[in-house]
Amino acid sequence: MKTARSIAWARRRVALGAFWQGYRRDREGLFGLVVLVVFATVAIAAPLLADAEGLSLTKATGPRLAPPSLAYPFGTDEDGRSVLTEVIWGSRISLLVGLAATVISMVIGTLVGIGSGHFRGFGGGVLGRLTEWFLVIPYLPLAIVLATVFPPDVPRIIAVIIVIGVTSWSGTARLIRAQTLSIEERPYLERARALGGGHWHQMSRHILPNVMPLVLANTTLTVSIAILAETTLSFLGLGDPLRMSWGKILDNAYSGDVITSGAWWWALFPGLAVVLVVRAFNMCGRAIERVLDPRLRELA
Amino acid sequence: MTTTTAGGGVRARRPRALPLRYVVRKTVTAFGTLVFVVIVNFFLFRVLPGDPAKAFSPRGRNADPNRLAEIRRDLGLGLPWHEQFWAYVKNLASFDLGVSWGQHAPVSRLIGERLWPTVLLSGTALLLAAGIGMWLGARAGWRHGSRLDRVSSSGAVTLYSTPEWLLGLVLLIVLSDLGVIPAAGMQNPLSELPPALDIAWHMVAPVTVLAVVYIAEYSLIMRSSMLDERYADYLTTARAKGLRDDLVMRRHALPNALLPSITLFFLTLGFVVSGAIGVETVFNWPGLGRLTYDALRGPDVPLLQGLFLTFSAGVILMNLVADLLYPLLDPRVRAS
Amino acid sequence: MISPARRLALAVTAALAALVLPAVPALAEDTPSPSAKTTFVLGIKQDIDSLNPYVGVVASAYEAYQLMYDYLTGSSEKDFSPVPGLAESWETSADGKTWTYHIRKGVKWSDGQDLTAKDVVYSFQRAIDGDTENGQYGNYVANITKVSATNDYTVVMETSEPSPSMLRLLVPILPEHTWSKVSGEDVGTFANDNAPVGSGPFKLVEAKKGQSYRFEANKQYWAGAPKIDELIIRVYADDAPLAQALRTGEVHMVNDISASVFESLMNQPNITTSDSKYSGFTELAYNVGAATVDGKAIGNGHPALKDKRVRLAIDHALDRNVLLDKVLRNHGTIASGVIPPIYADWHWNPGSAARAFDVAKANELLDQAGYPKGAGGVRAGPDGKKLEFRLFGRESSETSKKNVEYIRDWLKEIGITVTVSIMSEDQLTAVIGEGEYDMFEWGWVVEPDPDFQLSVFSCGQRSTEDGGEISAGWSDSFYCDESYDALYEKQKTILDPAARTAVIKEAQQHLYDNAVYSVLYYYNNFEAYRSDKFTGFVHQPSNGGSLVFQYGTYTYRNIAPVTNQTAQKRSLGGIALVIGVGAGLIALAGVAVVLFSRRRRVTADERE
């Protein structure tokens, strides 16, 4: 005897399968996915690919500002460290911060979005207002202000993750709110209410699963924003000074007079890494949108 | 349900008046957002360790403790927080944003001096990008699936994934040695060019960098709204009548696609502010963005607070303008 | 009817014009570009924070004050010894407590009025009485009990005790007739940027904060007219554009650039670089026992650092040669005492008694002091507390961030775990004042008179507590030792230079023997200039000291343009590019217009 739960799960599995079928056919999406898998592998396998000692100032043995060569494929920086090592290890922090901040952003955004769409009256109104306010406030000045407010004892990397998470949830919230509002109209939700389903039941059993596809598409786009944000914040000097990230490499390069010395490799390779990863996330996001939105699919 | 005429509703272009209630409502909402920003600004910085009295003691480390205590009393730092808040609001009303810790000058004066270069730089880049970007996006969206569409969309997504300052940095590395672009700043006091031309010369590189990324963004926005229009029902009539394709686009689809793009233009101004900070830093452009970067040294809290307020107020204002413009431009939307 | 797209294009053009037009009146104020005048452009990295001499604290601000105003005495360009300034001559009473200065006659303010003793008295009295003013110049006037003018050109000052620093009063002499209009309340925010009246070798004519400051030479200057007509100080926020500007000739001199940029400028044609000896040092400082002047302990410094042997051990584990090589790239010298060798008279050198880099000795000292190595190689004291120290570095200094990494790695070798934190200088100042640190890396720039530098280690400069609030003094080590204080007080009142030197050297030795700081190195100041454009630069001191940012304005007053200069290559390429870009934009607009208006023939059908 199939329970309602298992029926729902079976339906979802079928939907997931169909989704994957659609995604597989999308060239852009596949390409993006492959790039992401490569970067994820590099980040996870960092200790195997490059010696951690290569990041240490005291142990650096390479020539200063050497252009790319066989020994140093990405060249060296002004302290003699291999830029390749820095980019490999930097991927860990850049990706970690991006993903962690995205989790925070998505959680807040989804909760606020569903809440403001579902609850009528004061609660929903407040959440909706909050979303509008955060949408309007320009993100970088807010991030800068928040980053400076954090007490120095908090490890900077945590501070950066929280700052990015807290400043980027509003776009997600607005989208989810709109979706929630349209779901609210649907008949089965009325039925659930009539049967005595409480708020939490409605939100978790009915609204959330229907909002999930949108959340998924939005997540990839949020990750790309988060990684860009981390890179910019590190470049401005607000990142963690003790951990290598791609933004930190660029900050070192800028302060280390990369422009005068013409050491293009020092800025180009970490920059390319950022652009490639962000673009890959964007490509996946657009592909997911296409798969989910039948209208766009027709046009593809 | 939208009402359409054969001409797509564009013909009814009598100047529309906005109902007063709508204007008032939108203005009040904008003001409400500003109030929220002011409150956040106030409380955020109460949390900060740091001594406002430092602004008045030239050598922060060597101030006479009695004098510091006096200054703190004058600034009202010992007062309960709601009294401090009212004092803060009152000061805001008279545009008193405090005194900068690092530059020992009133914050409002510093911001006033640097406002114009930022408006010049960002404004020029924005207008250029909006014009070019929307044209490109319209063409690409209309010719959906064509080579132009694919190439420009792909390029746009790549540019959209790039931080503006990174482009600027790479450009500087490659070009500065060749002396093709000026090293930095807005003006060269030694230059023999007339000042306006000198500034324009210094503007070329940063404007290009900003514009290129904004073009990507606006072309993508325009493309997607053009896609919405392309398959709209009312256009079938126009096509059925045998009208040429690009006339269909220009006369009918484009104006309707343009409208949401124009308002989106205002709404994405938040990104303009963020872009300005990075690009002004890399190119040493003496505007508010560079001022923000300099204020991070310290950090110069009153200056950062003032800048945050200024940026937010600017964006809120632009959003209000967008809200007021939208019903005027799009006859399909009623200002309710 | 104009199509909407056309309307948009017109709107864009109109908006662009609207943006540019307001700039025209602002730009019209600019003075025409200097062609017949000789202009010298100095590029600096730190913007002048305020042109008001009672407010500005950064080095470039002091440079501006030296240009605009005069002082009673100056420092010789050869060796910093006191030379006459506005005071032509001076006498001291037998007990050393009354000083009489004879003011030079015939000096005029830039608005034509005469400079008299009245202005000198006003300037000093203001520094003594005013709150803001005293905060700025207090340590120069701390001992002065009375200052008065006995006639138009004689000033008499009485001090509470004999004080050799009376010959080094770096208090600028300001015109009473203009400054009396600036009240004590306003002086803290008074900008002083609108053609201020001064008697110095240059006069400020235009100030664009964050961009450039234009000074005109004072051809009536009492010490001789500068040979150039105009001086412009241009602000660049970073090294790269500054160096680029020197190469293209946009500036004629740069100062305080980083080592890597300096090296990229060496061996460039037409550029002379100067690895100038400087009056600064960098140190690793310790929390020797944070307490207020009343002796109340504050903060949470590690108690092990109170033990001199621990500090000596750490000092032995620092390989200064590596820092000099890797961080400074040999642009500096290894240091021991707190008075740099540039001050040849006061500088003390331990000579053969200098502590060597000796890891074995470091380990030995720590074992002897009772901190054996435990499991995992980390040492712990008799109370079980491990030797885990917090080390602070400064965000704004690249060398600071590197130094602390090296120090952390070296201390690991001798069993001390170091946690590094990087923060802004303002935050670090607050942390130090509260005593919540173990070690940090910072530096000092030492004045020609060592009194201030030595005072920093005295008991009286520790933090003070006022109603629960702790305010920092100048001490960042919290060192308090009776015998050191005695030496400090002694040198304060000896007027005879030779006798004073002996005491000052003893004081330096005391600090070294007790490892109050581990002074790491004396760093050089990097300067470079266009030798094909200007000549006559003056070092202070003469054996390779700084060319600008000196105690004096020697370079600015002595440089002259190089004759037989090759005609300046116009940047034709640049102008062509501007015109090209402009033409391109117009062409683009034209194409857009054409595309949008192709076949404007309107049929009745389309109008439908």
Partner-chain contact A144 B227, CB within 8 Å: no
Lowest mean pLDDT among B221-230, C97-106, C414-423: B221-230
Q: What is the ipTM of this complex?
A: 0.84
Would you state the structure tokens that stand for residue B82, as one six-digit string? 């709601």
Q: What dihedral do alpha carbons C484, C489, C493, C494 form, nearest 10°?
A: -20
Say which residue, B148 or C489, is predicted with more confidence. C489
Kindly state the average pLDDT of the residues C189-217: 91
Kindly state the average pLDDT of the residues C485-512: 92
Q: Which of the four pLDDT bands, split at 50, 70 and 90, describes residue C253?
A: very high
Find the length of chain C.
608
Contact list in B for residue C606 (CB cut-off 8 A) is 243, 247, 251
Residues 6+ apart with CB under 8 A from A31: A280, A283
Give me the pLDDT at residue A213, please.
77
Phi-psi region at B174: left, alpha or beta (left = phi > 0; alpha = psi -120 to 50): alpha
User: CA C397 to CA C400: how far, in whole Å?
Assistant: 5
User: CA A123 to CA A203: how far, in whole Å?
Assistant: 15
Q: Name the residue in chain C with its Cα closest to that of A258.
A: C240
Kindly state the average pLDDT of the residues C536-551: 89
C-alpha angle B81/B83/B89, rounded to 5°?
A: 100
Long-range (24+ apart) CB contacts under 8 A made by B47-50 are: B47/A149, B48/A148, B48/A149, B48/B301, B49/A151, B49/C427, B49/C430, B50/B301, B50/C426, B50/C427, B50/C430
> A257 to chain C, minimum CA–CA distance in Å?
6
User: CA C277 to CA C255: how far, in whole Å?
Assistant: 13
pLDDT higher than 60, residue B62: no
Would you state the structure tokens that stand for residue C73, as one six-digit string? 């005495």
pLDDT tens-digit profile of C62-84? Answer: 999 999 999 999 999 888 889 99
C-alpha angle C384/C387/C392, rounded to 5°?
A: 145
Partner-chain contact B247 C191, CB within 8 Å: no
Q: Please tell me which chains touch C, using 3 or more CB pairs under 8 Å as the contact test.
A: A, B
Q: Tell me the β-bridge partners of C517.
A: C285
- The gap from C-alpha B149 to its chain's centroid, in whole angstroms, comes to 27
Kindly state the average pLDDT of the residues C579-595: 53
C-contacting residues in B 301-320 (Cβ below 8 Å): none
Q: Which of the four pLDDT bands, split at 50, 70 and 90, describes residue A15?
A: confident
Contact list in C for residue B299 (CB cut-off 8 A) is 424, 426
What do you get for the CA distance between the two ends of chain A, in Å?
42
Instruction: For tokens 């450009």, name the residue.
Output: B171
Give me the pLDDT at residue B39, please.
87
C563 at interface of B, judged by CB pairs closer than 8 A: no
B-contacting residues in A 113-132 (Cβ below 8 Å): 129, 132
Give me the pLDDT at residue B127, please.
86
Q: Which of B61, B190, B291 has its CB closest to that of C41?
A: B190
> What is the crossing angle of helices A27-44 and A264-292, to 10°?
130
Give me the pLDDT at residue C7, please.
57
Listed residue (C415, C416, C420, C417) closest to C404, CA to CA: C420
Give the CA distances from residue C196 to residues A168, C32, C111, in Å, rounded to whole numbers and listed in that order: 49, 22, 9
Listed residue (C73, C102, C96, C87) closest to C160, CA to CA: C96
CATH code where residue B233 lies: 1.10.3720.10
Kindly state the average pLDDT of the residues C120-124: 94
Partner-chain contact A141 B48, CB within 8 Å: no
Lowest mean pLDDT among B24-33, B77-86, C198-207, C231-240: B77-86
A254 at interface of B, judged by CB pairs closer than 8 A: yes
C-alpha angle C78/C83/C87, rounded to 5°?
A: 160
Say which residue, B98 or C147, is predicted with more confidence. C147
Residues 6+ apart with CB under 8 A from C383: none
Give me the pLDDT at residue C32, please.
40
Mean pLDDT of chain B: 75
**Pairing relation of β-strands C388-394 and C417-423?**
parallel
Q: Name the residue in chain B with its Cα closest to that of A228.
A: B163
Q: Which of B49, B270, B274 has its CB closest to that of A151?
A: B49
Say which residue, C587 or A25, is predicted with more confidence. A25
Q: Which of B163, B166, B292 has its CB closest to that of A141?
A: B292
B282 at interface of A, judged by CB pairs closer than 8 A: yes
Q: Name the residue in chain C with its Cα closest to that of B124.
A: C16
Give the CA distances from residue A176 to residues A136, A137, B47, B247, in Å, rounded to whole numbers and listed in that order: 17, 19, 32, 38
Q: Name the residue in chain B with its Cα closest to that of A141.
A: B308
Give the CA distances from residue C418 to residues A168, B326, C379, C405, in Å, rounded to whole numbers and listed in that order: 36, 60, 12, 10
DSSP per-residue string spanning C348-370:
---GGGPPP--HHHHHHHHHHTT
What do you get for the CA distance between the two ends of chain B, in Å?
15
Residues 6+ apart with CB under 8 A from B154: none
Mean pLDDT of chain C: 84
Give me the pLDDT at residue B50, please.
54
Partner-chain contact C232 B103, CB within 8 Å: no
pLDDT higher than 90, residue C390: yes
Give me the pLDDT at residue A261, please.
78
User: CA B253 to CA B259: how far, in whole Å?
Assistant: 10
pLDDT tens-digit profile of A180-197? Answer: 888 877 777 777 777 777
C18 at interface of B, judged by CB pairs closer than 8 A: no
Cβ atoms of C138 and C170 within 8 Å: the answer is no
SS3 A18: helix
Give me the pLDDT at residue C581, please.
54
pLDDT higher than 80, residue B149: no
Give me the pLDDT at residue B267, please.
66
The burial class, CB within 10 Å (0-12 / 13-18 / 19+), for B42 is: middle
Say which residue, C592 or A226, is predicted with more confidence. A226
C584 at interface of B, judged by CB pairs closer than 8 A: no
- B61 DSSP assignment: G
Q: Which of B37, B163, B169 has its CB closest to that of A254?
A: B169
pLDDT higher than 60, residue C398: yes
Cβ atoms of B185 and C211 within 8 Å: the answer is yes
Partner-chain contact B173 A267, CB within 8 Å: yes
Give the architecture (CATH level 2) of A11-299.
Answer: Orthogonal Bundle (1.10)
Say which residue, C531 or A194, is predicted with more confidence. C531
pLDDT higher than 80, residue C145: yes
Range of the domain at B221: 115-286
pLDDT tens-digit profile of B170-193? Answer: 888 887 666 666 667 777 766 777
Residues 6+ apart with CB under 8 A from B133: B214, B215, B216, B217, B218, B219, B221, B222
B148 lies in a domain? yes
Q: Tell me the β-bridge partners of C291.
A: C297
Lowest mean pLDDT among A53-62, B68-77, C553-562: B68-77
Would you state the structure tokens that stand for residue C126, as one six-digit string? 């203001």
pLDDT higher than 70, residue C440: yes
Partner-chain contact A259 B293, CB within 8 Å: no
Percent of chain C's residues with pLDDT above 90: 51
Cβ atoms of A275 and B158 within 8 Å: the answer is yes
Q: Which of the four pLDDT bands, split at 50, 70 and 90, describes residue C174?
A: very high
- The pTM assigned to this predicted structure is 0.81
User: CA B125 to CA B119: how far, in whole Å?
Assistant: 10
Q: Tell me the β-bridge partners of C212.
A: C208, C234
Split into its structural domains, chain B has a count of: 1
SS3 A175: helix
Kindly state the average pLDDT of the residues A110-120: 86
Q: Please tell me which chains touch A, using 3 or more CB pairs under 8 Å as the contact test.
A: B, C
Contact list in B for residue C242 (CB cut-off 8 A) is 183-184
Residue C180: Cβ within 10 Å count: 11
Cβ atoms of C484 and C444 within 8 Å: the answer is no
What does the H/E/C string look like for C147-215? EEEEECCEEEEEECCCCHHHHCCCCCECCHHHHCCCCCCCCCCCCCCCCCCCCCCEEEEEEECCCEEEE
C424 at interface of B, judged by CB pairs closer than 8 A: yes
User: CA C210 to CA B291: how far, in whole Å?
Assistant: 9
Listed residue (C64, C59, C53, C82) closest to C200, CA to CA: C64
Contact list in C for residue B5 (CB cut-off 8 A) is none
User: CA A170 to CA A77: how far, in whole Å?
Assistant: 39
Find the length of chain A.
300
pLDDT higher than 80, residue B225: no
The burial class, CB within 10 Å (0-12 / 13-18 / 19+), for C567 is: exposed
pLDDT higher than 80, residue B49: no
DSSP per-residue string spanning A86-102:
HHHHHHHHHHHHHHHHH
pLDDT tens-digit profile of A84-101? Answer: 999 999 999 999 999 999
Q: Which amino acid is at C33?
A: S
Q: Name the residue in chain A with its Cα closest to that of C392.
A: A152
Say which residue, B167 or C9, is predicted with more confidence. B167
Contact list in C for residue B189 (CB cut-off 8 A) is 33, 41, 212, 214, 232, 234
Residues 6+ apart with CB under 8 A from A138: B269, B270, B271, B273, B274, B311, B312, B315
Give me the pLDDT at residue B183, please.
64
Q: Which amino acid is at C182?
A: V
Give me the pLDDT at residue B202, please.
86
Q: Tell me the β-bridge partners of C202.
A: C217
Would you state the structure tokens that stand for residue C371, as one six-digit string? 């901190």
Q: Which of the four pLDDT bands, split at 50, 70 and 90, describes residue B4?
A: very low
Cis peptide before C541 (omega within 30 of 0): yes
pLDDT higher than 80, residue C48: yes
Q: Residue C391 — φ and ψ, nearest 5°?
A: -120, 125
Contact list in C for residue A52 (CB cut-off 8 A) is none
pLDDT tens-digit profile of A132-146? Answer: 888 888 888 888 888
Give me the pLDDT at residue C568, please.
44
Contact list in A for residue B45 (CB cut-off 8 A) is 149
Partner-chain contact A141 B312, CB within 8 Å: yes
Which of B139, B170, B284 is most worth mutating to test chain C (most C CB atoms within 10 A of its CB)? B284
Give me the pLDDT at residue C418, please.
94
- C562 DSSP assignment: P
Q: Which amino acid is at C316?
A: H
Give me the pLDDT at residue A285, please.
86
Lowest mean pLDDT among A240-254, C17-31, C519-533: C17-31
Kindly state the average pLDDT of the residues C346-371: 92
Q: Which of C8, C19, C577 has its CB closest to that of B124?
A: C19
User: CA C267 to CA C263: how far, in whole Å?
Assistant: 9
User: CA B244 to CA C601: how far, in whole Å?
Assistant: 12
Partner-chain contact C139 B62, CB within 8 Å: yes
Q: How many Cβ contacts (< 8 angstroms) between chains B and C?
A: 222
User: CA C160 to CA C162: how far, in whole Å?
Assistant: 7
pLDDT higher than 60, residue A205: yes
Kindly state the average pLDDT of the residues C273-279: 90
Residues 6+ apart with CB under 8 A from B256: B8, B9, B10, B229, B232, B330, B332
pLDDT tens-digit profile of B188-208? Answer: 766 777 878 888 888 888 899
